[in-house]
Amino acid sequence: MNGLIKKAILILIVGFLLYYLFTRPGQSADFLQGIVDAIVEGFNQVVNFFERLAS
């Protein structure tokens, strides 16, 4: 039963994301770009930390 609930929640989340993507593509692209920018910035900060640590 627990696996069934997890699967249902996953399907609902994916369905909502697809609905949002097709009904608001511009806002979806902005949101995705923001996520990518945050990941890249986080990675750059980790690299910066290790560079300062090594010097």
pLDDT score, position 21? 87
pLDDT score, position 55? 84
- pLDDT at 1 > cutoff 80: no
Contacts 24+ apart (CB under 8 A), 20-25: none
pTM over 0.75: no
Q: Give the start-to-end residue ranges of the domains of the chain.
A: 25-55
CB hemisphere CA count around 34 (13 angstroms): 6
26-53 tens-digit pLDDT: 998 898 899 999 999 999 999 999 999 9
6-16 tens-digit pLDDT: 999 999 999 99
